[in-house]
Structure 1
Amino acid sequence: MRPTRFIPGLLAAAALLTLAACGGGGDSSDVTINLSNDRGSIQRNPPTQLASLTAAQFTAQLRGSAQGQQLLQLAGVNLADPAATLPCGLDLRYIQYGTVGGAGEKTNATGALLIPTGGTGCSGARPIVLHAHGTTTAKDYNIALLGSTTNAAGGEAGLIAALYAAQGMIVVAPNYAGYENSALSYHPYLNADQQSKDMIDALSAGRQAVAKIANGTSDSGKLLITGYSQGAHVAMATAKALRLAGQPVTAVAGGSGPYALAKFADAIFGGSPIVGGTLFAPLLTTSWKRSYGDIYQAAGDVYNTAYATGIETLVPSTLTQQALFTTGKLPQAALFDTDAAAFGLASASFQPLFGAPGSGLIKTTYANAVLADAAANPCNAASPAACVTNHPLRARAKQNDLRGGWAPAFPVFMCGGANDPTVFYVNTQLQAAWFGTLPLPTGTVTTLDLETAPTGGTDPFAAAKVGFQTAIAGITGGATAVAQNYHATVAPFCTASTAGFFRSVLAATP
């Protein structure tokens, strides 16, 4: 989940990369084609090369704007030194692979493969970062378009290129089934089983490509899994799936993830709707309807009349988020109507997220049914496995909750901001609390609240905390503007903290 902007102040950095001047297709000989869409198959191997940048070229382009300079600072480049560069160059590839949809149907998906190039620390056996992106309504979202000034993925692509690939880590970043050139007609949003399979299939395709490309870089076998917002849920679900399958994972990290979905859904319907909820709701209900079939009988059971028609095919969309609002396809803020029973708003700050009867997105009768089940069957256990529910939405939230049924055998890092109005930080707290009930080695789980004060010279996250708090303080427009931009502002600082966490894990791993 994430609001309209992924990285405030950094989105324009993507425009700095002139890919046409540096790319070229490459690897035209010995190409294998597989259009079976079998799970984990790669359609073209080696995959199409979109760009090849040396470390000096990448750095020089980023130095050319204030936004790019901010990105370099996050990556640890000393801007005062004109000779300072990112450690590695990039070989950027567009991958297409076979996977499955939410109901197990065969389909395809696309993504990006970023391979570090250069000298020591950039070539040879390198770790893989498997990166899951956050929520987007943009149907054409393509994280392989690193140099795009129009594609919504540009900012996120620049961030992971600078913080992971240019630091010597191979990056596999799927666009997910249902996006870009995927044939799937919907996106299996917050479907933990499908999304973990999608990630694992992208990883398989990426590893096949790395083995095929003769550029001096290979897969070391070390796997680091990460993502932000929706991507954090996807990353944790993937780590869980690999752990249960007995497959090796080196570490997992998530930023602002909706891990504790059972509790999160109850909180939202209980009077604490989230900023961006009108965009997320149709993604979620369509996903779970197509995956499980029992969320509702007809869209009009869930959505008010003004929005029900066409909502099942509305997102992902070719329309911008603003156009979804201005054309009346979705309300911009009001997730619920004020006449829903027993809401008792958690605070006045939630009031803008409610509309007059009939004007909100979610139908009052549906909201009341969820509320009634939550009242009859409260879910307060550390693991939702112990919870009882008679409502299908609550049952599917419980099914996709990441507490219960597994134990990590690798370091876990969870980052966020305590005042996040889009993905409440309580998700991180609840996931950490559940991990705390397991007999894990001391230090297995690390959490970071960017709102906390730095703890002196030994705090590895001091710079991220200061940077985040400075960025929040610099948002103009009052409390409303802060609420609209908070979740996006967390993203680059959690990503930078994750990169540091991964480096520490790698340094301690034989």
Structure 2
Amino acid sequence: MNVIRRCLAPAVLFAALALAPLRAQDPPTLLPTGSGDPLWWDTFISCVDALERFTGPRLPEWVVRTAPLSYRSRRPLYDREGHPLPDGAGGQATEPCHQSGRYFLPPAWRVGRGAALPLVIYNHATTLAKDQVPSTFQGHEWIFGAAAAAYYGFAVVMPDQPGMGGDAVATHPYLHARSLGHAVVDAIGAARDALATDPYARTHGYAWDGRVFLIGYSEGGFASLAAAKELEARKAEFGGEADFLLAGTACLAAPVDLPGAVRRMVLEPSRPFSHPFFLPYLVIAWHEVYGPVMDPLEVLAPRLLESRTDGNILQWMDGTRGGDAADMRIAQRMGAAPCQVVLRTLLSPAWVARNLEEPGYATSPFRAVLEENDVSGGWAPTRPLFFGQSLDDQEVPPAIAQRALDRFSEAIRAEGRDPDRLLSFKAVAAEGSGVDHVKGTILALPAAFDWIHRGGPPVGRPPTARR
């Protein structure tokens, strides 16, 4: 029975891939987009649940080649006041850390012997549970990496975020640009090594075609853009302009404008939020990086910190449970209905007044922290950027992508270049469609992989989005 399950589950799930003609060079878009149809979300989740339960990492190689990834990365170091520690060479000191992940290669029938493959570094979205990551074949997102490898013929590498998977003893640096950027950049070398040494790839003569794409949804999009910013800043270390390996970045429904749009969302006095766990997640993660500037005992609302029979916020956020479970406990503690928690109520009013509201924000050390992690400002991209999401996303509103596009356009024009050749946006579902931030993954990710396959052509700009 187990053998039948292991063979049947992937066969059923990947049956749709047969729509692409054998070894087709221009397959149709993997999933339809733009219709506003949430694409049977519950059915999708059930199918992936079954795969993770019955198949695990044992997908047959005629479907997709997969193997775990292990590589050495760097963790940036700060002093106890939150200032970067110098490395003596004009940069920031780092310490080595171990990162894990998983990679996927296309089956030989799809691409043929001797194929040259682009490398796609796919960064997974926000997860609170440390084991719900690609290396463990959990968390559901691996299915998109597997499908992109099998359908489009990409070599897809999915790193676990720092502090996850094989690095679970560390605190995950949620939305910390330098930590995530280092991990993604370091994954590129690990991806090239994996492609060069993988037995399946060597048997079939696979090689790298010289292109690297970065892609991610939500925090994964933030990590991808943080890495793109670092790569652009260090271009000389990666071959210079002529041989620069970054081919494009897809940043999907990501909170990239922390000091602007995200700060305004937190300050809103009555706006409900469906997934409130992200705010204490940020506070706890940044306390690990910046020290007293982000002390949870001062930043978070006293009610959340109270130790009761159900624990407190510090226990709920320890990585042993998922975000939905943490959201439920937060809502219960705050006396709110699920999906109706107001973010501002999760913070100490005194801390908000000193550090988020004017005039305190103007001189607060927290302002410098937010600006350090603003990946949508302070640089001008030279390689294509794709933004995509549902216009009905309330957790990471499209106005954030609009703001990023406007800032990038201004920076690119200031250098005498045409932003329309580099920047694009795709609305994968309309306002009123019911496709929220979570459901948007099954529309935005296929759209981004299709954008990579078709060479990154511009696909327009977002309409004026509600804020």
Q: TM-score, normalised by structure 2?
A: 0.73
The 10-residue stretch of structure 1 (194-203 or 156-165) with the greater mean CA deviation from structure 2: 156-165
> Aligned partner of 2:233: which letter?
L
TM-aligned CA deviation for residue 53 of structure 1: 2.9
Aligned-pair Cα RMSD in Å: 3.2
Aligned equivalent of 1:125 = 116
The separation in 1 between residues aligned to 2:339 and 2:66, in whole angstroms, is 45
- Please list the CA deviations of residues 319-378 of structure 1 after superposition, one character each: whole Å capped at 9, or x if unmatched: 24444355x4x336959x9xxxxxxxxxxx9993349xxx942222122223433x566x
Aligned equivalent of 1:383 = none
Are 1:98 and 2:72 matched, yes or no?
yes
Aligned equivalent of 2:253 = 256
Aligned equivalent of 1:398 = 371
The separation in 1 between residues aligned to 2:71 and 2:190, in whole angstroms, is 6
Matching of residues 101-116 of structure 1 within 5 Å = 101-103=75-77, 104-116=94-106
Give the 3-state SS of the residue equivalent to 2:143 in structure 1. helix
Q: Cα 1:257–1:322, aligned 2, differ >3 Å: closer, same or farther?
A: closer
Contact 2:258-2:374 within 8 A present in 1 as well: yes
Are 1:11 and 2:50 matched, yes or no?
no
- Please list the CA deviations of residues 38-94 of structure 1 after superposition, one character each: whole Å capped at 9, or x if unmatched: xxxxxxxxxxxx54331xxxxxxxxxxxxxxxxxxxxxxxxxxxxxxxxxx311011
Aligned equivalent of 2:128 = 137
Aligned equivalent of 2:223 = 234
Give the 3-state SS of the residue equivalent to 1:421 in structure 2. coil
Give the 3-state SS of the residue equivalent to 1:497 in structure 2. helix
- Please list the CA deviations of residues 446-502 of structure 1 after superposition, one character each: whole Å capped at 9, or x if unmatched: 1122345xxxxxxxxxxxxxxxx7xx75xxxxxxxx5xx611121111111111111
The separation in 2 between residues aligned to 1:290 and 1:91, in whole angstroms, is 37
Q: Cα 1:276–1:291, aligned 2, differ >3 Å: closer, same or farther?
A: farther
> Aligned partner of 2:368: which letter?
A
Give the 3-state SS of the residue equivalent to 1:52 in structure 2. coil
The separation in 2 between residues aligned to 1:142 and 1:126, in whole angstroms, is 24
Give identity over the alignment, percent: 20
2:326 to 324, 327, 352: 324
Give the 3-state SS of the residue equivalent to 1:93 in structure 2. strand
The separation in 2 between residues aligned to 1:322 and 1:19, in whole angstroms, is 20
TM-aligned CA deviation for residue 445 of structure 1: 0.5
Contact 1:334-1:352 within 8 A present in 2 as well: no
TM-aligned CA deviation for residue 392 of structure 1: 3.0
Aligned equivalent of 2:161 = 176
Give the 3-state SS of the residue equivalent to 2:179 in structure 1. helix
Q: TM-score, normalised by structure 1?
A: 0.67
> Aligned partner of 2:71: which letter?
Y
Contact 1:232-1:257 within 8 A present in 2 as well: yes
> Aligned partner of 2:219: which letter?
Q
Aligned equivalent of 2:309 = none
Contact 1:225-1:251 within 8 A present in 2 as well: yes
Q: Cα 1:333–1:493, aligned 2, differ >3 Å: closer, same or farther?
A: farther
Are 1:494 and 2:444 matched, yes or no?
yes
Gaps of 5+ in 2: 1-39, 78-93, 239-244, 307-311, 459-467
Aligned equivalent of 2:177 = 192
Contact 2:75-2:182 within 8 A present in 1 as well: no
Aligned equivalent of 2:29 = none
Are 1:448 and 2:433 matched, yes or no?
no
- Please list the CA deviations of residues 184-223 of structure 1 after superposition, one character each: whole Å capped at 9, or x if unmatched: 4200111111101111222221211211122322221111
The separation in 1 between residues aligned to 2:393 and 2:341, in whole angstroms, is 15
> Aligned partner of 2:372: which letter?
Q
Q: Cα 1:19–1:92, aligned 2, differ >3 Å: closer, same or farther?
A: farther
The separation in 1 between residues aligned to 2:395 and 2:99, in whole angstroms, is 27
Q: Cα 1:411–1:367, aligned 2, differ >3 Å: closer, same or farther?
A: same
Contact 1:97-1:110 within 8 A present in 2 as well: yes
By relative contact order (CA 8 Å, sep 6+), the higher-ranking structure is 2
Contact 2:125-2:216 within 8 A present in 1 as well: yes
> Aligned partner of 1:266: which letter?
R
Aligned equivalent of 1:301 = 298
Aligned equivalent of 2:61 = 53
Matching of residues 76-475 of structure 1 within 5 Å = 89-103=63-77, 104-119=94-109, 121=111, 123=113, 124-146=115-137, 151=138, 153=139, 155-213=140-198, 214-216=202-204, 217-246=206-235, 247=238, 248-271=245-268, 275-296=273-294, 298-308=295-305, 311-312=313-314, 314-324=316-326, 328=329, 330-331=330-331, 352-354=340-342, 360-373=345-358, 375=359, 389-437=362-410, 438-439=412-413, 440-441=417-418, 442-452=420-430, 473=433
Gaps of 5+ in 1: 1-5, 24-49, 55-88, 338-348, 378-388, 453-468, 474-481
The separation in 2 between residues aligned to 1:302 and 1:432, in whole angstroms, is 31
The separation in 2 between residues aligned to 1:289 and 1:407, in whole angstroms, is 30
Contact 2:251-2:388 within 8 A present in 1 as well: yes
